Structure 1
Amino acid sequence: MGFYSAYDSITVDVADGVATIEFHRPEKYNALNTEVMLDLQRAFAELQLDRDIDVVVITGEGEDAFSAGADIEQYAGPAEEHDPRQKDRQELFYDIYRAPLDLHAPVIAKIDGYCAGGGLILAMYCDMRVAAEGSQFGVPTCNIGQIPTGGSNYRAVQLVGEAKAKELVLTAGFIDDEEAHRIGLVNHVVPSEDLNEKVAGIVDAIQSTGRGAVKNSKKAINQAADAPDIDAAREYEADLWWEQFATDERRDLVDEFNEE
């Protein structure tokens, strides 16, 4: 299928049901300025419309950074010198950050190097995170007198728990790949030379299963994470289960399984 629309700071390459989004600001450690965020917004809108997409992989150009976060230059100066719509801008960015979580297909963050600030927020909203050895993770917003945004406080507590989320944010420090894996921030850590192969293996595994089942399972898990209680999660899960049960995909895969 080739490339989607032309973008200014990212590329979106689609082949065989897999979309690869790559940031192209290596000289800025793939920092997420407004231009990048608006490119991401358009890219995910197009991906949401493409139901032939099975998996999305997000990565950054080079081996220095997935993304080192926001472009700090855009936050310089007193508040009164900034556009009064700055809060509206942050609301828009929240929608963009969580676009991977809301997408119909699984999204994998392929991380090599720094993954910090806004870059880490985006990665946290992906369904899985696979990192190369030597990668570093952090939320250094307190170092510049700001707090994390984009719904990242809630998401971080979901992924690593309240105590670890507070440690990451309040110390403004970085953790290495081993600690990120230990606390559940990343799914896998592999040598840098094996990163592409590891991600490709996960993509292959996803594409080897029922496409509809994968997408409905993602919906059920997302809802379970945000549901007020198990009853609400179970009710939504039951509806999705019946929806998937009624598909030709389920019937055909069960028949294939029974024939083996």
Structure 2
Amino acid sequence: MVSYSAYESITLDIEDGIATIEFHRPEVYNALNNEVMFDLNRAFDEIQLNRDVDAVVITGEGDDAFSAGADISQYAGPASEHDPLQRDRQELFYEMYRKPYECHAPVIAKINGYCVGGGLIFAMYCDVRVAVEDAQFGVPTANIGQIPTGGSTWRAIELVGEAKAKELVYTAGMIDAAEAERIGLINHAVPRAELDETVAEIVAGIQNTGRKAVKNSKRALNYSAQAGSLEEAREREAELWWEQFATDERRELVDEFNEEG
């Protein structure tokens, strides 16, 4: 196992093709402040340079929270005291939120408790979300006189549809894991005792397939989600299909399949 020690508020370990990131601010429900933002950006840069990583798992320390969102103390005071610092900070947060989405490997949010505000935005940019049954989800920005940021309005509509996204934002309310699963915000809601096993099974499923095929599939799916038209998405998909077809992995797995058949 390789452990990276140059972080203040998270840990990053890589073992057997699995990168694990854990938030380490349990005393504030793993809230996201500037230090977490910088650490996450660096961690994903490390992962991006390691093509042996097949999957990334992100979770929060303790049993209370994945992340309770932004550190609200950093928003106090009149806007004149924050400009241009807050504008730059929001750009950096957007960069952080995009990291799991743009990572070459699938990223799984292992949600062990509250997943709120900026913490939920970050989880939404992950590829798969698995949560304990007693987890709580919400976008309470209206409660502090703000609106969602980091491209989360687009991402929320993409995941749960316009009507549900608007309801979540307008009411600033909380929903449980069962409702989050029902509307498509998360993939699975499981008993706490089954969280580790469920995530491990998903990771094993990724590693038991064509690893390059999974990564190229992620590229195709992400592109299609943002494409302006079906034709545009299809053209990019065809390019990636041929790129994958030309790999030794494809040839070996096809030969293996035919031999077994």
State the Cα distance separating 1:5 from its structure 2 match: 4.3
Q: Deviations over 1:60-102 (max 9, x none)?
A: 0011000000001111111122252311211121011011000
State the Cα distance separating 1:128 from its structure 2 match: 0.4
Letter matched to residue 234 of structure 1: R
With structure 1 as the length reference, what TM-score do the two structures score? Answer: 0.99
Partner of 1:238 in structure 2? 238
Letter matched to residue 30 of structure 2: N
Distance in 2, matches of 1:2 and 1:88, equals 33
Distance in 2, matches of 1:5 and 1:233, equals 40
State the identity as a percent: 73
Partner of 1:163 in structure 2? 163
Alignment partner of 1:130 is 2:130: yes
Distance in 2, matches of 1:156 and 1:133, equals 21
Alignment partner of 1:25 is 2:35: no
Partner of 2:93 in structure 1? 93
Letter matched to residue 88 of structure 1: D
Q: Which runs of 5+ in 2 are unaligned?
A: none
The total of aligned residue pairs comes to: 260
Partner of 2:119 in structure 1? 119
Partner of 1:68 in structure 2? 68
State the Cα distance separating 1:202 from its structure 2 match: 0.2
Letter matched to residue 221 of structure 2: I
State the Cα distance separating 1:4 from its structure 2 match: 2.3
Distance in 2, matches of 1:37 and 1:84, equals 18
**How do 1:204-215 residues align onto structure 2 when only pairs under 5 Å count?**
204-215=204-215
Partner of 1:146 in structure 2? 146
Partner of 2:13 in structure 1? 13
Distance in 1, matches of 2:34 and 2:157, equals 26
Q: Which runs of 5+ in 1 are unaligned?
A: none
Q: Deviations over 1:10-63 (max 9, x none)?
A: 000110000000000001000000110110010011111111100000000011
Moved more, 86-95 or 66-75: 86-95
Please identify runs of 4+ aligned residues in structure 1 that moved more than 4 A.
Answer: none
Q: Deviations over 1:211-253 (max 9, x none)?
A: 1100000000000000001100000000000010011000000
SS in 2 for 1:74: helix
State the Cα distance separating 1:145 from its structure 2 match: 0.4
State the Cα distance separating 1:6 from its structure 2 match: 1.7
Partner of 1:223 in structure 2? 223
Letter matched to residue 54 of structure 1: D
SS in 2 for 1:56: strand
Distance in 2, matches of 1:167 and 1:38, equals 32
Distance in 2, matches of 1:181 and 1:7, equals 33
Aligned-residue CA RMSD (Å): 0.8
SS in 2 for 1:98: helix
Distance in 1, matches of 2:100 and 2:61, equals 19
SS in 2 for 1:222: helix
